[in-house]
Structures are given as structure tokens and as C-alpha cells.
Structure 1
Amino acid sequence: MVNHLSNKSLFITSLLLNSVFCTFLVPVSSTLQRFHHHTNNNGSLRFLVIGDWGRKGWYNQSQVAVQMGIIADRLNIDFVVSTGDNFYNDGLTGVQDPAFDESFKYVYAAPSLQKQWYTVLGNHDYRGDVEAQLDPMLRKRDSRWRCLRSFIVNTDIAELFFVDTTPFVEMYFDDPKDHKYDWRGILPREVYLANLLKDLRSALSESKAKWKIVVGHHGIRTTGHHCDTPELVTHLLPVLEEHHVDFYMNGHDHCLEHVSCQNSKIRFLTSGAGSKAWLEANKPQDEKCGVKFFHHGQGFMSMKLTKNNARFVFYDVFGKPLHRWRTSLKKLHTSM
């Protein structure tokens, strides 16, 4: 559901525009860090997508992890994508926090899941020591862990652009209630967001990948508990549309969902059902968008890409396929 922008939102918009044109007043942003990941010998790319999971195995996190291991073995995945809210309820307390082992290392222990995990931060992660999740020390505890605020994973047939969406959301700054957020590295916020959007726009415009995938924590189009994120609809979505992004993947809503909208080739995919989930009625949505699939319970998603075709599957906590969808690159790019 897209809400009208508040006066404060318009003010932020003005700040973003001003910071773009007044870069001589602020530090110049650096380009997004890139990682290259080789595809399978047959040229395909296969990975799992999971979000909102870190609860020390509780709320069916361990059961989901077991099924992820089975599917990962069957697909011979290349890596795992985490859509954020990696450690509940309030992130990590530091690099030595045992929750890292209890919620990640020991839970996702299947041999087939001993692949690289590419991870973004969620709003719950920002409530703890956010720098801990970004610290290279965690890679010494488990070499799979790769977490940055925003970055790019380049493969032979696709590029995945990981975007730090939490700083976009005004509520966390203006009405945090009893929560405390770790904004180190973010302030001044308007400068951080302007630089992030500039870097993302530049990277997308330069991309020659057959498939462009953007990953963030918060939803852009969703009928889940949190609804659309107005700040992302205003600031991020136009960038994705302009540069012909194929998929936007997110967590935040503790569900599995597939949304498509008129006059857009972007597929909006929510995979935030890694542990605690709840049953509720779908929220209103933008009238130009339609829900192709929605599941309230725990689960995860798989994605397989070849040079010309894409296929994703949503699985429940028992590993049962709930929703399958496939398309060709040509069909997706001519559906606008």
C-alpha cells in the first residue's frame, strides 16, 4: 500500500537532491564493493534466499534450515542470499556474541549450505552493534559470512546489487519508540542516502549482466504485515525501473510472496519466513499490482538462472514446493 508522502518526506527528498548537486560540501562517495562469484560448469547460477531468521533455532528456524540443506544439495547451489534481520531481537552485542554461532553457524550446518552467504542488514540488526556484523572478525569464526551495508556480487550471467534499505525509513529516526538504533556510518543521513543512490545508479547503468537482481531488507511492493515502504517507492523504485532490473528480493515481512505490477517487468519477491511467522489477512495493495502467490508460514526460496531463463520456487517448512514460476529473458523484457 503506497501512502502519500509527509512533509518530512518531501524535506528528505529536497535534502537528497541538494546533496547530489552540492557534493563539494560533503565527502565524495566510494563505489560499491564488488565480489565475483563463478557460476556452475554448465553456466547456470543457483542460490537460496532466506530472511528474518536468527532466533537460535527457535520458531522453526532449525526445521527450515534442514529443508534448506536438502534443497541446496539437490540443486547444488552456488551461494545463499540473506535478506536481513539476521539476529533477533536486537542484532549482535559484539563480534564475540555467541548468538552468531547459535543462530547461524550451528543452525545452517548442512554440508550443502557451506557456501558463501551474501547478507544485508535489517532493521533489527541496526538495533544492536551493527559494526559487529560488518567486522571481518566474523569471517574468522565462519568463512561463509559476507555482510556489508551495500555491495555487488558479479557472476557470469547475473549481477546482484545488495542495498542497505533501513536508513531510508523515516520512522526509525523520527519515532523509534523504545528502540535504539546504531547509526554509526550513516549520519548525516541525507548524504549517506544520496551517495548510495548515486553509486547504485552508476553501477546499474554500467552493468552488462543478462540478469539484474536487487536485494534489500524492506519491501517495495508487498501485501504483508508492513505493506509497501513509501520511502523505497519514492527513492529506490524509480532507479530500478530506469535501469531495467528484473527482480527485487526482500525480507522484513515474515512471509513468502510474489508480486507483479502493470507496466513493470520487475518481479517483487519476499522471502522473510526464516523463523517466526504469523497468520493474518493480506493488507491492501497498489491497485496496479497483483499478488501471484502469498504464504503466511515459514519457508524459503530458490532461484535458478541460465543465460536465457529464470526459475524460482517457494518452499514451506517441510520442503514442499508451494509456488513455481519461470520465464525467459526475452519474455520478461518484452512484458512491459
Structure 2
Amino acid sequence: MANKNDHQLMKLTLTILVVMLVVDVSRGEFQRFQPSTKADGSVTALVIGDWGRKGEYNQSLLARQMGVTTEKMDIDFVISTGDNFYNDGLIDVNDPAFHQSFTDIYTAPSLQKTWYNVLGNHDYRGDALAQLSPILQARDNRWFCMKSFILDADIVEFFFIDTTPFQDKYFTNPKDHVYDWRGVIPREKYLSTLLQDLESALIESNAKWKIVIGHHTIKSASDHGNTQELVDKVLPILEANGVDLYINGHDHCLQHIASSDSPLQFLTSGGGSKAWRGVYDWPNPKEMKFFYDGQGFMTLDITHRQIGLNFYDIFGNNLHKWSVTPLPSIISAI
């Protein structure tokens, strides 16, 4: 029988291995994964952000409605746009908040699919590497979290990017918050690598549709507004490489903003719990297709011929729908 020292050594060895694995996937380099999709290649996904409050601020009520709304949709997976655990991320891999805010909340049969998560700024205030740990995936096999990665579903590729390190204020004016920058420092090298990897992956992509997922806004009419660092560094790459949608959380609302300069659409799904901030400011009404300052979620339906999206509130009301199809010359080539 193993003694106490043996158990401690085994625990230490496991911890070291987990840290090695986590650090290896936190450098900003893109790894590619293939999700389970339908036989015809189409994809249906639910998108939710800014949710983890142990059921409070209507998180539980919204989770129940997510289950009801998607019961007949046959979703393939869930996309989380970050700020998975409030207020300060997870303490470590043993933090009960993982079950209290995730496993015990999203219990509907239709939500028992893989959740593809990115980190938000609140996640970085705790043990950010804990959310990347395979220990959590072992506790709930739905959980999948990396800083940046590609989800390759053949007709569509989702490019998940780590947006928190782009914001200068988290480094220069943290406001008494402590951020877990392991794997990010040196920051300039991390961001340079991330941008190079994103641009290369988009250039090399042969997918019909390209969708980029990040926590922070590029364009937003709500509390946080536009994220200037992303406007300066990320937006030109998206516009130059035919990205169809940029989807984010961060602002606790639902919104759809069209671009005046390109076909790129900006979508916010950050209404997973605390909302109703009472802020709206957008100068061009022609660009603002939809804004809802409350709790809710979004669904995506993607086929060879169309992307369709729907926004829902906490009662399951369909607040906004929109779709886009490729150019006729592209359709004829399918």
C-alpha cells in the first residue's frame, strides 16, 4: 500500500504534468480541432457569454430557456465568448464554482454537447490556467477551453482568439486586480505570434465561411464600446481575409452591427447573466441592425448556402434574425 509520501509525490507529478500541458497550449499558437457535426455537414451552434454567476442574475432561468429553445434544434456544440466565472475566475482546478456555475446550471439534455470556451478578462483575474486544465474536462467532458484555437467544421472554420492581452489597461491600470499572465509574458511576443498565426490561418483557410470568436468587442454600442486595440490590430486582418462574422461577449447585451466598409458583421452575445446596463451609443443607425440590453443568447445555423442567426431573450422570444448567402458565382460552383 502506498504511504503518505507516495501519494504526495504522485500528486506533485500530476500537477507538474498538467502545468506542462497547459503552458504548452497557452502560447497563442493555433491548434486545430474537428467538432462533431451533422451528416450533411451543416452546423448548428448556441452562443452564450458572460454567464458564470452560480445561477444568480437570472443565469439559471436563462439556462433553462436555452435548454427549451434548443430542444428541437439538435445543436452540435456551444460556443462561450468568455467571462466564464465571476467575479475573479477560478481559484484553482478544485474551485467549486466550476460545478456551481457550469455543471449544475446547464443541465438540459440539449446542452450536453461540447462547450468551446475562450477566456475573458474576469477569467484572467483568477487562475487562468485552471480553466485550460484537462482536470476540468475529466470532471465534465463538455468542457473545452484554450486561449486560441481553430474549430474546423469543414464548411466553416471558427477561429477562437485570446483578446484580453490586447487591452493596455489591464497592464497599465489594473485597478487593484491581479491578472494571471502566465504564458502571456513577454506580451509583445505573445501578441505578435497570435496575430501572425491568425493571419496565416485565415489566408490558408479553404472554408466557405470564416467566423472569429473573441471575448472583447471590436464594435459595440454598449458599456465597453469599441476596443481600440482590436480595431487597430485585429480588424484589418479580418477585413483583408474575408471573415464573415466576428462574435464576442464582454458587453452584457445582445447586438448586431453591420460594417460600412466590408461584409463583416459584428455580433455580441454577452447576456448570459448580469445585464441591463442602460448604455447605448452608436452614431450610425444604418449599421445598427439590432440591440437588446438584457439577458439572452444566440444560435447559428450554417450550411453550404447560408449562415442564419437568431437572438433569443430569457423567455425564448426570437428578438432578431438575419442571414447571408454567398455570391451567386460561388453558389454555382458548389
Q: Is TM > 0.5 for Structure 1 vs Structure 2?
A: yes
Residue 51 of structure 1 deviates from its aligned partner by 0.1
Are 1:297 and 2:294 matched, yes or no? yes
1:317 to 300, 311, 314: 314
The match for 1:185 is 183
CA RMSD of aligned residues (A): 1.7
Residue 278 of structure 1 deviates from its aligned partner by 1.8
Residue 35 of structure 1 deviates from its aligned partner by 0.6
2:28/2:148 contact within 8 Å kept: no
Distance in 2 (CA, whole Å) between partners of 1:312 and 1:139 is 29
- Residue 329 of structure 1 aligns with an amino acid whose one-letter code is P
1:303-326 Cα offsets, whole Å, 9 max, x none, are 000001111000001111000111
3-state SS of paired residue (1:66): helix
Distance in 1 (CA, whole Å) between partners of 2:282 and 2:288 is 11
1:194-248 Cα offsets, whole Å, 9 max, x none, are 0000011111110000110000000001101100000000000001011100000
2:252 to 251, 254, 265: 254
3-state SS of paired residue (2:86): coil
Provide the identity percentage.
56
3-state SS of paired residue (2:70): helix
The aligned length equals 305
- Residue 188 of structure 1 aligns with an amino acid whose one-letter code is P
Distance in 2 (CA, whole Å) between partners of 1:84 and 1:113 is 17
1:38/1:156 contact within 8 Å kept: no
TM (norm. structure 1) is 0.88
Are 1:135 and 2:128 matched, yes or no? no
TM (norm. structure 2) is 0.88
3-state SS of paired residue (1:95): coil
3-state SS of paired residue (2:45): strand
- Residue 120 of structure 1 aligns with an amino acid whose one-letter code is V
1:329 to 318, 326, 331: 326
- Written as runs of structure 1 = structure 2, the 5 A alignment for 1:86-101 is 86-101=84-99
Which is higher, the Rg of structure 1 or of structure 2?
Answer: 2
- Written as runs of structure 1 = structure 2, the 5 A alignment for 1:138-149 is 138-149=136-147
1:308/1:330 contact within 8 Å kept: no
Distance in 1 (CA, whole Å) between partners of 2:78 and 2:215 is 15
Over 3 Å counting, the alpha-carbon distance change for 1:193 and 1:289 in structure 2 is farther
Listed as ranges, the gaps of 5+ residues in structure 1 are 1-28
Over 3 Å counting, the alpha-carbon distance change for 1:135 and 1:289 in structure 2 is farther
- Residue 204 of structure 1 aligns with an amino acid whose one-letter code is L
The match for 2:232 is 234
The match for 1:308 is 305
- Written as runs of structure 1 = structure 2, the 5 A alignment for 1:189-208 is 189-208=187-206
Distance in 2 (CA, whole Å) between partners of 1:134 and 1:294 is 32
Residue 31 of structure 1 deviates from its aligned partner by 4.3
Distance in 2 (CA, whole Å) between partners of 1:328 and 1:67 is 29
Over 3 Å counting, the alpha-carbon distance change for 1:93 and 1:157 in structure 2 is same
Listed as ranges, the gaps of 5+ residues in structure 2 are 1-26
| Runs of 4+ with deviation above 3 angstroms | none
- Written as runs of structure 1 = structure 2, the 5 A alignment for 1:32-51 is 32-51=30-49
Distance in 2 (CA, whole Å) between partners of 1:105 and 1:95 is 14
Distance in 1 (CA, whole Å) between partners of 2:122 and 2:327 is 38
